[in-house]
Chain A
């Protein structure tokens, strides 16, 4: 069965800390891995990773994929209270047409002032 596992499930840090969120996957037809931030409702797109070892960066957030280890990490440096959210990892399972996203349970990040 295809699955995406995220760890930790929840994390409490203080402003200024650096955090690393983990995602591992077992998906038959892997095509890409995506990270989303879910605050109140809609998952908001952060990154899409397809190639191993190439870091993607956006401000204080960065992510990298390791296809050998079937995993990815999302780093957030100098965390702020506005980073508090659930971070979702999803893998695009490509069966030959559009593909569909298989999501992990998410990591709930709480950043305390």
Chain B
């Protein structure tokens, strides 16, 4: 069964460093998303992406964040200068703009630890 994959599974970085989290969405999906979950808290929306453009972004997604689809398969989230409060599990999700565009399928997540 097709699935969303994410790498790395765990990333440890120092405050102020740049990180890139990578995702490979399900191959025929065209809508892509990033969410995050701080330990013990709700899953929160960060950004949605379609046709090489950001569709929507939340207040969390400030100028330190960017997303890119560098090729036909990868979808990346970059945090330019990490802060302690960026420590969280980051989930990538994708959906298909067909019969069920709302069904978002999630990857296993990348646990980001900022020290």
Q: B26 to chain A: closest CB distance in Å?
A: 12
Q: Which of A32, A44, A100, A105 contacts B33, CB < 8 Å? A: A100
Residues on B lying within 8 angstroms of A by beta carbon are: 4, 31, 33, 35, 41-45, 48, 50, 55-56, 58, 89, 91, 95, 100-109
Check A90 for interface membership: any CB of B closer than 8 A. Answer: yes
Main secondary structure of the interface of B (DSSP, over half): strand
Q: Are A92 and B43 in contact (CB-based, < 8 A)?
A: no
Residues of A within 8 A of B104 (CB): 34, 45, 101
Q: Are A42 and B91 in contact (CB-based, < 8 A)?
A: yes
Residues on A lying within 8 angstroms of B by beta carbon are: 31-32, 34, 36, 41-45, 48, 50, 88, 90, 92, 95, 97-106
Who on chain B is nearest to A97 by CB? B55
Q: A57 to chain B: closest CB distance in Å?
A: 17
